[in-house]
């Protein structure tokens, strides 16, 4: 009875005492109303009556499990929930299951504080979208936002409140498996993707039961591991961190993301899990973040292996004092924080502030108003894999694919006799990739299935396995190719070759697949490669043998249909690379925003310049690159003025014309170069882009505003701002565009 009365009292406090301050709207989305700045008296009321054990419980996150009969949870964790010692659960979903756990927290604990349910909704929940690297290749921010909105609706309807996404890690290391989960190599594009996903997950108001709280991860610089090996050491200057790695995290925080996940790696010799420079000085003091920070899975425990903590007690104290509010699965907060507070190793104020942040996020989600608002089996059925959701997934899969090469091989004629060859052609499972949420392969069409929708004259031969040296299928593949009008070869990686703990020392296709391609290409039939992969690959050999290459990544639930629509011309490729494809692994790390060096390579054949002896410097396919079924021409960039100052701006524009015979979409890209700075500057940096769709012969003038903010950088004294001087401005179809105009910034 006491618990029920207290629970009713807290509800009464919430409904009668909540005040509102004026809404604060992000400047790039002024119509967006948010509830993040409300005050929640219930949080103060709870903190006044909570015991140390109950406060610590709000900082504990344990996992649920899944077995053949459905979701389950360990008995000890249920006891912890009942005792108020565990306030958060991850990997628990379905409306009925989360309701059962929530009933324990609300009805069987002293204070009735609701649980927070989290899950890895990375590129979809039930409806699975392309991998995030593919999503970023669409350069379509409204559609990316809508994909996150779909994922949020499905996840929230299944009882979830919180997703561990977006992943904001910039990466120029293709060996690293988790490059598949991010937006590629560029801070400007990565920031745009981060904002879009946060807005999609969190909607206009977190109290809407079809929104979920976003979690910015992995903070920070997780995407730069030495040797490309997951969980490995990261070492970079503060300047490089701020210039090229921090912007997407900050963009997500500025967009209102409610939580942040500390990364596994160290930064400047301190594990990010307990790095006060990252978690307190930058995140909270500089950026004003007011949500909570969660460790990654057993991240606090792993500080012992890092060598900065004697034991789990020491690690737990360090983590909380540094600004890490929630312990995911290590158990150290449960076991040691009470003693640490009693002994003065953690102040009660530090503990209470961490608890306040967690309770505030729960309040923002409306869980104190109605703890069961996310637990509706009817809503779960109504929101899952709807026709609209699947259409969004198909459209994004189409826009994510990048046409890397096309020597008149595509589009294919409908009804043509086609040989479909390759170990991934008939795999629906691989389409869903790693981190596939609660996605299910049942009902998913493979690429082969999609192709069969366009012709009943399909010959399918597997040809070989993904890896190994068995060539017994080569003969049938060659015979099929000879009897066909065109050949589609679906090659690449298994879906579990990328993602977490999936680093590789080679970024080439397995040799058996290249040998199969060589045998088939020798028939002289036009060969199109469809690639399924989670990282940039070295395609230097394959690109010389294929007539066309379509980079499909792992395209998700509707990927088979999307790829077929592109191959047969019912849709046109419009994706552009968000990461550089090298000619060889020896060029890695390779990225378009490199510095010029003191001896730039400008004179072919000259030895004492920054170059290789055995390979050219330029990549096989540069950042921003992609083809379609038409062609575009660009006019010279034009400027509204040739100079401006601190309170001014200028407009840059270029005219783009569709010079082909069919409609197509171009991604018009703006790059800037600061010619002289107080510190060295990149040869180019992306500073704007716009997708434009043009009919044959149609022209459009695309404009960009150049402001002091756009040319700002981390200067010699590590302050952020512009410097006077000369700039070059490029507008073109990819990062290797050469036509430029010049302007001057005057202080």
Residues annotated catalytic, as ranges: 296
**Closest to 149 (Cα-Cα) out of 199, 189, 213:** 199
CA torsion 267-269-275-279 (nearest 10°) is -20
Enter the DSSP assignment of 329.
S
Q: Look up tokens 């091989």; give the residue.
A: 409
Cβ contact 422:474 at 8 Å: no
SS3 state at 402: strand
Neighbouring residues of 492: CB distance < 8 A, sequence distance ≥ 6: 424, 509, 513, 531, 532, 533, 537
SS3 state at 213: strand
Distance CA 188, CA 194 (A): 10
CA torsion 386-388-394-398 (nearest 10°) is -160
**Closest to 551 (Cα-Cα) out of 426, 412, 684, 403:** 403
Cβ atoms < 10 Å from Cβ of 239: 15
Cβ contact 576:626 at 8 Å: yes
Cβ contact 492:531 at 8 Å: yes
Q: Look up tokens 């379905």; give the residue.
A: 94
Phi first, then psi, for residue 735 (nearest 5°) are -70, -15
**Closest to 289 (Cα-Cα) out of 357, 242, 213, 350:** 357
**Closest to 28 (Cα-Cα) out of 252, 190, 287:** 252
CA torsion 336-341-345-351 (nearest 10°) is 100
Cβ atoms < 10 Å from Cβ of 86: 23
DSSP structure string for 554-597? S--TTHHHHHHHHHTTSS------SS-B-SSGGG-S--TT-B--
Distance CA 7, CA 370 (A): 11
Distance CA 252, CA 199 (A): 9
Distance CA 533, CA 536 (A): 8
Distance CA 327, CA 297 (A): 8
Cβ contact 410:125 at 8 Å: no
Cβ contact 710:704 at 8 Å: no
Rounded (to 5) percent helix, strand, coil in the chain: 35, 20, 50
**Closest to 455 (Cα-Cα) out of 497, 423, 415, 513:** 415
Cβ atoms < 10 Å from Cβ of 128: 30
**Closest to 298 (Cα-Cα) out of 314, 310, 315:** 315
């Amino acid at each position: 009875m006491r618990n029920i009365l207290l629970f009713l009292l807290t509800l009464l406090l919430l409904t009668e005492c909540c005040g509102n301050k004026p809404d604060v709207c992000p400047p790039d989305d002024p119509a967006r109303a948010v509830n993040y700045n409300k005050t929640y008296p219930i949080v103060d009321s709870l903190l006044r009556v909570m015991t140390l054990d109950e406060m610590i419980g709000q900082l504990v996150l344990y996992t649920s499990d899944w077995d053949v009969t459905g979701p389950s949870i360990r008995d000890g964790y249920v006891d912890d929930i009942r005792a108020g010692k565990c306030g958060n659960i991850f990997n628990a979903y379905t409306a009925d299951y989360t309701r059962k756990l929530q009933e324990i927290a609300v009805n069987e604990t002293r204070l009735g504080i609701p649980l927070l349910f989290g899950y890895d909704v990375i590129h979809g929940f039930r409806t699975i979208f392309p991998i995030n690297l593919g999503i970023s290749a669409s350069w379509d921010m409204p559609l990316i936002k809508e994909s996150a909105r779909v994922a949020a609706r499905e996840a929230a309807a299944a009882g979830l409140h919180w997703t561990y996404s977006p992943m904001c890690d910039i990466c120029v290391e293709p060996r690293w498996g988790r490059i598949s989960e991010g937006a590629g190599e560029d801070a400007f594009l990565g920031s745009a993707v981060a904002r879009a996903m946060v807005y999609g997950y969190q909607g206009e108001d977190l109290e809407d039961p079809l929104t979920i709280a976003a979690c910015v991860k992995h903070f920070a610089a997780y995407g730069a591991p030495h040797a490309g090996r997951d969980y490995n050491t990261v070492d970079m200057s503060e300047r490089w961190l701020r210039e090229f790695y921090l912007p997407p995290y900050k963009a997500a925080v500025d967009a209102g993301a409610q939580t942040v996940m500390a990364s596994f790696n160290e930064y400047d010799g301190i594990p990010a899990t307990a790095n006060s420079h990252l978690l307190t000085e930058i995140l909270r003091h500089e950026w004003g973040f007011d949500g909570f920070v969660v460790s990654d899975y057993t991240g606090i425990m792993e500080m012992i292996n890092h060598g900065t903590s004697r034991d789990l007690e020491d690690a737990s104290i360090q983590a909380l004092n540094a600004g890490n509010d929630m312990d995911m699965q290590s158990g150290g907060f449960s076991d040691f924080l009470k003693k640490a507070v009693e002994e003065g190793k953690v102040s009660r104020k530090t503990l209470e502030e961490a608890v306040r942040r967690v309770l505030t996020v729960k309040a923002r989600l409306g869980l104190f108003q109605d703890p069961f608002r996310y637990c509706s089996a009817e809503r779960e059925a109504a929101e899952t894999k709807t026709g609209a959701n699947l259409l969004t997934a198909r459209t994004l899969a189409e826009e994510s694919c990048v046409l890397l090469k096309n020597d008149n091989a595509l589009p294919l004629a409908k009804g043509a006799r086609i040989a479909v060859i390759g170990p991934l052609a008939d795999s629906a499972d691989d389409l869903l990739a790693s981190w596939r949420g609660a996605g299910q392969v049942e009902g998913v069409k493979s690429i082969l299935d999609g192709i069969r929708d366009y012709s009943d004259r399909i010959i399918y031969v597997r040809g070989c396995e993904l890896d190994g040296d068995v060539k017994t299928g080569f003969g049938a593949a060659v015979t099929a190719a000879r009897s066909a009008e065109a050949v589609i070869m679906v090659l690449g990686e298994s879906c579990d070759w990328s993602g977490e703990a999936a680093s590789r020392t080679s970024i080439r296709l397995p040799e058996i697949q290249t040998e199969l391609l060589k045998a088939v290409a020798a028939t002289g039939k036009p060969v199109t490669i469809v690639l399924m992969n989670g990282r940039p690959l070295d395609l230097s050999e394959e690109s010389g043998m294929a007539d066309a290459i379509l980079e499909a990544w792992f395209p998700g639930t509707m990927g088979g249909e999307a790829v077929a629509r592109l191959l047969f011309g019912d849709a046109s490729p419009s994706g552009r690379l968000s990461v550089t494809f090298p000619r060889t692994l020896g060029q890695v790390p390779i990225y378009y925003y490199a510095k010029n060096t003191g001896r730039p390579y400008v004179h072919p054949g000259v030895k004492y310049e920054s170059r290789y002896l055995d390979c050219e410097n330029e990549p096989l396919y540069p950042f921003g690159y992609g083809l379609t079924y038409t062609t575009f021409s660009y006019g010279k960039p034009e400027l509204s003025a040739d100079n401006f100052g601190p309170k001014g701006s200028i407009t840059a524009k270029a005219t783009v014309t569709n010079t082909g015979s069919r409609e197509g979409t171009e991604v018009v890209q703006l790059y800037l170069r600061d010619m002289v700075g107080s510190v060295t500057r990149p040869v180019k940096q992306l500073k704007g882009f716009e997708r434009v769709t043009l009919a044959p012969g149609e022209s459009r003038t695309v404009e960009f505003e150049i402001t002091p903010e756009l040319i700002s950088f981390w200067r010699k004294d590590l302050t952020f701002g512009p410097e006077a001087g000369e700039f070059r401005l490029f507008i073109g179809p990819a990062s290797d565009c050469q036509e430029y105009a010049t302007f001057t910034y005057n202080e």
